[in-house]
């Protein structure tokens, strides 16, 4: 018998409390009035009796109560393995849970873990059966229950360290399931791991039935020194029409000793670009910023490697860089003013993530091809462009384009195209007399305004609105913003795969002063990003993530089947028509995954993934 | 009834107690001289129904008292004489020293004593005796002379009695010779003495458990006491003391009764009065 929290046994000293109380209570000063003490006076006083314990049974019960409470806090338990062994012999059903998570690659952890697993196998009797379960984030029954020790040892020898995180819950549940199915009475699970703290969330709810025993073999080492590259960030800038990238790598030192002059190397497409020296204090983080380099083509592989230690897996960070694709806009205005779209075009010329490619044209001159290959069309205080008629704008929207209608004096909308506008435009409302209007309601749950949700993230009420167009929406339209008098300021309608948003005032200085407010630029950027379905490019994923390749292939011209080459060289074929789980790819390895069209020549990888690994602690 | 309850001290005349003892009589054991007819024997002849003797007729005797049957037999005039019944003085002596305020499990000793005194006074007053009261501690605190009209005053005085000062008698009460010395003068005057010794159950069995300091109510002296160590000795000593008092008082023809405040008063008083009546017939 042992205790899980033996420190609580110190509480046994509290047994002295009832004894003291027992004695102190007897000694306390009480004065009792009595008519006459003439008889008492004749009897000699015996003070020694005060210090004697009188109610032994009561005292013992009190002490026993305290002892039991203390023992309960100390959480006693009995080694059931010992008990089971003592109860009887016979065959055993053993499940060996071998941790193959990435942290097991630290130093000699993995070799010691395998030695421990082999020792368990060698300890099996002739009638014993064992199952080998390899686990990291998930658990896999590597070798089903067998008495063949040779096969078990071969399976242990063939196992290797993975890139996954540690999770004990699935492994223990699998062990419980295997042992529950067994008809053998003596059932044991042996967990071999370095026992990463992060592997146990406390909510696994694993319950082993009575009679099953779980023993643990820890291969953790007290030395936890480890240098890791947990993150890499990229700063993009345009220079002479080319995109230049500045890579900044984060470093973390988990050890007790400072790391001085650690070489940190940036590699692009297999070429070492630059090596910097970094010094990281113990249990601290640092960063290294490399010089800018020009991004020459799509899907450029890169990696940052920092020093070398007992866990090399987290010393390198892989990524893939692709040139940022600008969001292309066509702004159509009335052409009456030369600076009619000045505010919009200036605001959109500033963006970097993404950059915006803006073309401005007047409604009378715009051609149907002006909407081709555009992500967003902005009708800025203009009549409905003739080139957009005849279903041009409708088709543009249905294939995923975005339409922003900014109303003003010149805005007209033909009844035949009413389905493209989120609502029916009415007369102009003049708020110049008296107090001007302002934005009174914003739908912060909408992606456009979500970034302004936090306090002090944008003061929309500072903008004054002097005129706006009345708008009558349908129930299916979504109201994004209202003015202080309740009139609609912005509304959205989904048309096919596209999105159309109407802004009932202007986005310049004619009907409102929002163009000179700090909120203007982020608002315009958010509107365009949303309408363009913009998603920032992902340069890396973490091991364990699942990627839906089918969803990512939508909209691409290439409809052939895919072949996925994993970092270990395994080739996985995927059908382009695959639905559901067929198009899903689980990223289990650290390194570069290549996704190629079936039958195509080797092409640059489309994505690279890495994971962060924590060393033993 | 309403008026009696409004009277201070009327609570001491408890109807529940009187219901039990109301039919009994508190008679003087000795011949007493009273002014009016009562229940007690008088030293002279009177107009009772108890025949005493014959005597020769003398001039002036009421001829209605001549016993004509004796005249017929003896041809002499004899007059029948009857024993006279009279009333007497009943004084209640009530100890109001500080020890009488003691109360452990029952009512305070003084209150219990007041109940006893009031009941006896009621009985006496009902049989037309004169009742009075003397409260004392170290000295006489209050004195109500015996009178047929002083019953209410007696109750009022009992109500006002407070156990404030130490008493002198309690000390001799526990010293038998001194007790007798204190009481004998009363006896010598021809009084019929009845002693009620009011004791709290704690005084009899000393039922304390925890060691404590005990304070003598009379002297204020404090003594640390471990009850368990002396309870047996104490009990034997108090029993021996009561037995000795009983013996000594009996020798002097004094009624001595121990009243336990834990006992219902009606039972204790009924027990005493009925036994006294029974013994009166014997005597």
More confident residue, B38 or A442: A442
Rg (CA), chain B: 23
Condensed to tens digits (0 to 9), the pLDDT of residues B165-223 reads 877 654 444 556 677 777 777 766 667 788 888 888 888 888 887 777 888 888 888 88
**Residue entry with tokens 């006489």:** B140
More confident residue, A617 or B124: B124
Contact flag A37-B213 (C-beta cutoff 8 Å): no
DSSP string, chain B: -HHHHHSTTGGGS-HHHHHHHTT-----SS----SS--SEEEEEEEEEEEEEEEEE--TTS-GGGB-HHHHHHHSS-EEEEEEEEE--EEEEEEE-SGGGG--SSSS-HHHHHHHHHHHHHHHHHHTT-EEEEEEESSSEEEEEEEETT-HHHHHHHHHH----S--SSHHHHTSHHHHHHHHHHHHHTT---EEEEEE-HHHHH----S-EEEEETTT--EEEE-HHHHHHHHHHHHHHHHHHHHHHHHHTT-EEEEEETTS-HHHHHHHHHHHHHHHHHH-
* Topology adopted by domain A327-531: Rossmann fold (3.40.50)
pLDDT band, very low/low/confident/very high, at A97 (cuts 50, 70, 90): very high
Number of domains in chain B: 2
Answer whether CATH 3.90.1150.10 is correct for domain A94-218.
Answer: no
pLDDT of residue B262: 82
pLDDT of residue B185: 74
Condensed to tens digits (0 to 9), the pLDDT of residues B106-116 reads 688 888 888 88
Same domain as B95, residue B142 = yes
- Per the structure block, which two tokens stand in for A354? 């993404």
Please name the member of B99, B102, B223 whose beta carbon is closest to the beta carbon of A40: B223
Same domain as B141, residue B54 = no
Same domain as B54, residue B166 = no
Mean pLDDT over A281-303 rounds to 88
What are the CA-CA distances from residue A197 to residues A42, A168, A220 (Å)? 75, 10, 11
Mean pLDDT over A420-431 rounds to 91
Assembly ipTM: 0.72
Residue A499 clears pLDDT 90, i.e. is over it: yes
Question: DSSP secondary-structure letter at A541?
Answer: B
pLDDT of residue A457: 82
- Among B70, B86, B102, the domain-final residue is B86
Give strand pairing partners of A130. A94, A146
Say what percent of chain B tops pLDDT 70: 72
Residue A612 clears pLDDT 80, i.e. is over it: no
Quick one: residue A496, left, alpha or beta (phi over 0 = left, psi -120 to 50 = alpha)? left
CA distance A291 to A60: 78
CA distance A195 to A215: 13
Task: Map out the domains of chain A as residue ranges.
Answer: 2-77, 94-218, 227-321, 327-531, 546-609
pLDDT of residue B43: 58
Biggest CA-to-CA distance, chain B = 87
* Topology adopted by domain A227-321: Immunoglobulin-like (2.60.40)
- Asked if the domains A94-218 and A227-321 are classified in one and the same CATH topology, the answer is no
Quick one: residue A261, left, alpha or beta (phi over 0 = left, psi -120 to 50 = alpha)? left
Within a domain: B45: yes
- Per the structure block, which two tokens stand in for A71? 């023992």
Within a domain: B32: no
CA distance A568 to A543: 14
Residue B6: partners with Cβ closer than 8 Å, 6 or more residues away: none
pLDDT band, very low/low/confident/very high, at A36 (cuts 50, 70, 90): confident
> Measured between CA atoms, how close is A34 to chain B, in angstroms?
5
Residue A432 clears pLDDT 70, i.e. is over it: yes
Contact flag B214-A31 (C-beta cutoff 8 Å): yes
Same domain as B203, residue B216 = yes
Please name the member of B100, B215, B230 whose beta carbon is closest to the beta carbon of A34: B215
Contact flag B102-A35 (C-beta cutoff 8 Å): yes
- Per the structure block, which two tokens stand in for A304? 């940052």
Condensed to tens digits (0 to 9), the pLDDT of residues B140-159 reads 888 888 888 888 888 888 88
Contact flag A36-B174 (C-beta cutoff 8 Å): yes
Condensed to tens digits (0 to 9), the pLDDT of residues A544-554 reads 888 877 776 66
Instruction: Specify burial of residue A287 (Cβ count, 10 A radius: 0-12, 13-18, 19+).
Output: middle
pLDDT of residue A368: 84
pLDDT of residue A244: 86
- Expressed as residue numbers, the domain containing B68 is 40-86
Residue A502 clears pLDDT 90, i.e. is over it: yes
- A414 in helix, strand or coil? coil
Within a domain: B33: no
Q: Which residues from A are below 8 Å from B229, CB to CB?
A: 43, 46, 49
pLDDT band, very low/low/confident/very high, at A125 (cuts 50, 70, 90): confident
- The winner for highest mean pLDDT among A206-220, A257-271, A569-583, B214-228 is A257-271
Same domain as B185, residue B68 = no
Same domain as B79, residue B165 = no
Of A94-108, A216-230, B184-198, give the lowest mean pLDDT range.
Answer: B184-198
Give strand pairing partners of A548. A584
More confident residue, A395 or A610: A395
Same domain as B96, residue B68 = no
Contact between A38 and B225 under an 8 Å Cβ cutoff? The reply is no
The enclosing domain of B249 has a CATH number of 3.40.50
pLDDT band, very low/low/confident/very high, at B47 (cuts 50, 70, 90): low
Say what percent of chain A tops pLDDT 70: 89
Q: Which of B99, B226, B237, B260 to mutate to test the interface with A (most CBs of A within 10 A)?
A: B226
pLDDT mean across residues, chain B: 76
**Residue entry with tokens 């025949």:** B51
Please name the member of B210, B218, B229 whose beta carbon is closest to the beta carbon of A26: B210
Within a domain: B134: yes
CA distance A120 to A157: 14
Does the beta carbon of B228 lie under 8 angstroms from any beta carbon of chain A? yes
Residue B5 clears pLDDT 50, i.e. is over it: no
CA distance A486 to A438: 10
Quick one: residue A456, left, alpha or beta (phi over 0 = left, psi -120 to 50 = alpha)? left
Instruction: Name the closest residue on chain A to residue B211, using Cα atoms.
Output: A26
CA distance A65 to A72: 11
| Separation of CA B27 from chain center | 10
Of A83-97, A322-336, A437-451, A556-570, give the lowest mean pLDDT range.
Answer: A83-97
Mean pLDDT over A28-48 rounds to 72
Q: Which residues from B are below 8 Å from A33, CB to CB?
A: 102, 214-215, 217
Within a domain: B53: yes
Condensed to tens digits (0 to 9), the pLDDT of residues A505-545 reads 999 888 999 999 999 999 999 999 999 998 887 888 888 88
Q: What is the 3-state secondary structure (H, E, C) of A268-286?
A: ECCEEEEEEEEEECCCEEE
Q: Which residues from B are below 8 Å from A29, CB to CB?
A: 212-213
> Measured between CA atoms, how close is A11 to chain B, in angstroms?
30
Contact flag B230-A40 (C-beta cutoff 8 Å): yes
Quick one: residue A251, left, alpha or beta (phi over 0 = left, psi -120 to 50 = alpha)? beta
Does the beta carbon of A42 lie under 8 angstroms from any beta carbon of chain B? yes
Does the beta carbon of B217 lie under 8 angstroms from any beta carbon of chain A? yes
Same domain as B113, residue B246 = yes
Contact flag A45-B233 (C-beta cutoff 8 Å): no
Within a domain: B35: no
Contact between A55 and A63 under an 8 Å Cβ cutoff? The reply is no
Quick one: residue A137, left, alpha or beta (phi over 0 = left, psi -120 to 50 = alpha)? alpha
pLDDT band, very low/low/confident/very high, at B44 (cuts 50, 70, 90): low
Contact between A163 and A592 under an 8 Å Cβ cutoff? The reply is no
Contact flag A35-B226 (C-beta cutoff 8 Å): no
Please name the member of A33, A41, A50 whose beta carbon is closest to the beta carbon of B211: A50
CA distance B79 to B100: 55
pLDDT of residue B18: 62
Using DSSP bridges, classify how beta strands A546-548 and A584-586 pair: parallel, antiparallel or unpaired.
antiparallel
Residue A276 clears pLDDT 50, i.e. is over it: yes
Q: Which of A33, A47, A50, A53 to mutate to test the interface with B (most CBs of B within 10 A)?
A: A33
Q: Which of B223, B236, B238, B242 to mutate to test the interface with A (most CBs of A within 10 A)?
A: B223
Residue A238 clears pLDDT 80, i.e. is over it: no
- Per the structure block, which two tokens stand in for A34? 């009595």
């Amino acid at each position: 018998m042992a205790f899980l929290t033996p420190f609580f046994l110190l509480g046994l000293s509290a047994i002295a409390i009832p004894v003291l109380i027992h004695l102190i209570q007897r000694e306390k000063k009480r004065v009792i009035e009595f008519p006459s003490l003439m008889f008492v006076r004749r009897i000699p006083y015996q003070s020694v009796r005060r210090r004697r314990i009188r109610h032994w049974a009561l005292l013992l019960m009190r002490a026993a109560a305290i002892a039991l409470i203390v023992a309960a806090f100390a959480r006693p338990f009995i080694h059931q393995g010992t008990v089971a062994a003592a109860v009887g012999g016979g065959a055993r059903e053993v499940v060996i849970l071998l941790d193959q998570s990435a942290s097991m690659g630290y130093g000699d952890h993995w070799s010691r873990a395998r030695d421990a697993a082999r020792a368990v196998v060698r300890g099996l009797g002739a009638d014993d059966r064992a199952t080998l379960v390899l686990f990291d984030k998930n658990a896999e029954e590597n070798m089903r229950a067998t008495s063949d020790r040779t096969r078990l040892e071969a399976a242990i020898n063939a196992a290797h360290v993975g890139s996954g995180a540690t999770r004990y819950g699935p492994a223990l549940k699998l062990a419980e399931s295997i042992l529950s199915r067994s008809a053998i009475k003596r059932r044991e699970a042996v967990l071999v791991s370095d026992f990463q703290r992060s592997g146990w969330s406390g909510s696994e709810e694993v319950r082993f039935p009575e009679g099953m025993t779980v023993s643990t073999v820890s291969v953790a080492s007290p030395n936890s020194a480890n240098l890791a590259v947990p993150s890499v960030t990229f700063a993009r800038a345009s220079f002479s029409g080319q995109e230049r990238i500045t890579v900044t790598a984060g470093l973390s030192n988990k050890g007790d000793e400072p790391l001085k002059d650690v070489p940190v190397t940036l590699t692009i497409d297999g070429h070492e670009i630059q090596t910097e020296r970094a010094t990281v204090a113990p249990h601290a983080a640092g960063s290294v910023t490399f010089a800018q380099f020009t991004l020459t083509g799509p899907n450029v592989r890169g990696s940052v490697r920092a020093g070398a230690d007992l866990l090399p897996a987290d010393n390198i960070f892989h990524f893939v860089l692709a040139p940022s694709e600008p969001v292309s806009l066509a702004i159509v205005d009335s052409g009456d003013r030369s600076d009619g779209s000045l505010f919009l075009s200036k605001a959109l010329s500033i963006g970097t993530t993404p950059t915006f490619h803006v073309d401005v044209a007047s409604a009378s001159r715009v051609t149907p091809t002006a909407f081709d290959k555009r992500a967003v069309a902005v009708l800025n205080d203009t009549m409905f462009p003739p080139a957009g008629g005849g279903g041009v704008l409708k088709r543009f929207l249905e294939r995923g384009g975005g339409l922003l209608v900014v109303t003003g004096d010149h805005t007209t909308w033909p009844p035949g195209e009413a389905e493209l506008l989120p609502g029916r435009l009415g007369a102009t409302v003049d708020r110049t007399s008296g107090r001007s209007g302002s934005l009174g309601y914003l739908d912060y749950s909408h992606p456009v305004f979500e970034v302004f949700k936090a306090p002090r993230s944008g003061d929309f009420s500072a903008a004054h609105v002097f005129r706006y167009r009345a708008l009558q929406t349908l129930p299916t339209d979504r109201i994004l913003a209202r003015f202080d008098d309740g009139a609609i300021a912005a509304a959205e309608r989904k048309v096919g795969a596209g999105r159309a948003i109407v802004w009932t005032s202007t986005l310049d200085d004619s009907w409102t002063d929002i163009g000179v407010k700090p909120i203007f630029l982020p608002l315009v950027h958010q509107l365009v990003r949303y309408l363009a379905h913009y998603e920032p490019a992902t340069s890396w994923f973490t091991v364990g993530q699942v990627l839906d390749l089918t969803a990512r292939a939508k909209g691409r011209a290439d409809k052939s089947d895919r072949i996925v080459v994993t970092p270990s060289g395994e080739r996985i074929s995927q059908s382009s028509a695959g639905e559901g789980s067929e198009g899903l790819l689980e990223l289990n390895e650290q390194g570069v995954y290549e996704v190629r069209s079936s039958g195509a020549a080797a092409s640059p990888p489309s994505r690279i993934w890495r994971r962060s690994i924590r060393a033993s602690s | 009834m309403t008026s009696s309850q409004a009277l201070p001290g009327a609570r001491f005349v408890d109807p529940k107690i009187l219901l039990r003892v109301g039919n009994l009589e508190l008679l003087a054991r000795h011949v007493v001289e009273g002014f009016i007819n009562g229940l007690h024997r008088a030293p002279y002849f009177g107009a009772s129904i108890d025949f005493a003797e014959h005597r020769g007729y003398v001039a002036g005797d009421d001829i209605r008292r001549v016993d004509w049957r004796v005249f017929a037999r003896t041809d002499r005039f004899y007059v029948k004489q009857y024993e006279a019944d009279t009333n007497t003085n009943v004084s209640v002596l009530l100890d109001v020293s500080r020890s009488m305020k003691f109360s452990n499990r029952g009512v305070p000793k003084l209150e219990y004593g007041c109940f006893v005194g009031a009941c006896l006074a009621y009985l006496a007053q009902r049989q037309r005796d004169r009742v009075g009261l003397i409260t004392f501690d170290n000295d006489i605190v209050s004195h109500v002379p015996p009178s047929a009209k002083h019953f209410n005053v007696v109750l009022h005085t009992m109500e006002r009695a407070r156990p404030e000062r130490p008493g002198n008698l309690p000390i001799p009460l526990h010293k038998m010779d001194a007790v007798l010395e204190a009481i004998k003068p009363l006896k010598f005057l021809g009084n019929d003495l009845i002693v009620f010794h009011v004791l709290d159950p704690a005084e009899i069995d000393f039922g304390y458990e925890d060691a404590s300091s005990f304070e003598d109510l009379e002297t204020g002296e404090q003594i640390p006491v471990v009850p368990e160590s002396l309870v047996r000795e104490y009990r034997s000593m108090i029993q021996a003391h009561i037995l000795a008092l009983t013996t000594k008082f009996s020798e002097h023809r004094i009624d001595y009764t121990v009243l336990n405040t834990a006992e219902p008063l009606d039972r204790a008083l009924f027990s005493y009065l009925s036994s006294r009546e029974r013994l009166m017939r014997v005597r």
